Structure 1
Amino acid sequence: MPLAEPQTLNLSAYMADKGPLWERMTAKYGLAPVPYEHVAAWGFGDFIFRCDWDVITSTTKIRQAGFHDVVDSTAMFLRLFDEFRARKAIP
């Protein structure tokens, strides 16, 4: 696959018209009646995912400070998805 420039997406703009879709999904799957405006903070997503600077992180200092517990990301997401389904937040 040839290398290409990153494609940016303005999440706030892209998701701005998805309220009716969320309402149809809520009805179709019997989800909890959470208003679309409360589903996610799209502007925060833009801030987190659209950095225009290098993000370099390390867990070394936090481990040196005694925080040794590790979270298995896959297990965490599977557990959260199950919890969200039980709460009727997602289908």
Structure 2
Amino acid sequence: MEWTVGCNRCRILAEQLIWAATTEAAHNQAFNITNGEVFRWNWLWYQLAAWFGVEAAGFDGTIHPLEVELANDGPLWKEMAAKYHLKEPDLNRLASAWHTDLDLGRPIEVMTDMSKSRQLGFLVYQDTRASFFDLFAQLRQEQLIP
């Protein structure tokens, strides 16, 4: 299957790599890369849930690895794929739970800082909420999610 979904975070990463390669002051330096604004997952979860029309569970202090949560959901996804005429009935081909767990399964909140890049002139920014909502709209349009 050919995936045509773009990576929102990849776009800003690519722009920063080009900037670092073409900006003399940035040569041979390490930089953080994020969307550029400060956001907190405990705000964003509720907004993501609202976009999908579901209730957010919230964080109770316990880490729930997505890989464990989705381990037995393959048959359910297959039913949903049939019901909503989705292109991919295999949940494991659509989602990388272990990768998501690496990103989000930390017991601490991660804060990032783009100050060094900004001080040297890299001012690209994208709103994290918009990057998620744009991606979800594209995934829905391409019939990958209901």
Report TM bin, short chain.
Answer: 0.7 to 0.9
- Identity across the alignment (%): 32
Contact 2:82–2:89 (CA under 8 A) maintained in structure 1: no
Matches within 5 A, 1:1-91: 6-52=61-107, 55-91=110-146
The amino acid across from 1:65 in the alignment is: L
CA-atom RMSD, angstroms? 2.2
Find the aligned partners of 1:79 and 1:54 in 2 and give their Cα distance: 24
- Give 4+ residue runs of structure 1 displaced > 4 Å after superposition: none
Contact 2:66–2:101 (CA under 8 A) maintained in structure 1: yes
- Pick which of 12-21 and 79-88 moved more: 79-88
Structure 2 length as normaliser, TM-score? 0.52
Unaligned runs of 5+ in 1: none
Unaligned runs of 5+ in 2: 1-59
Structure 1 length as normaliser, TM-score? 0.79
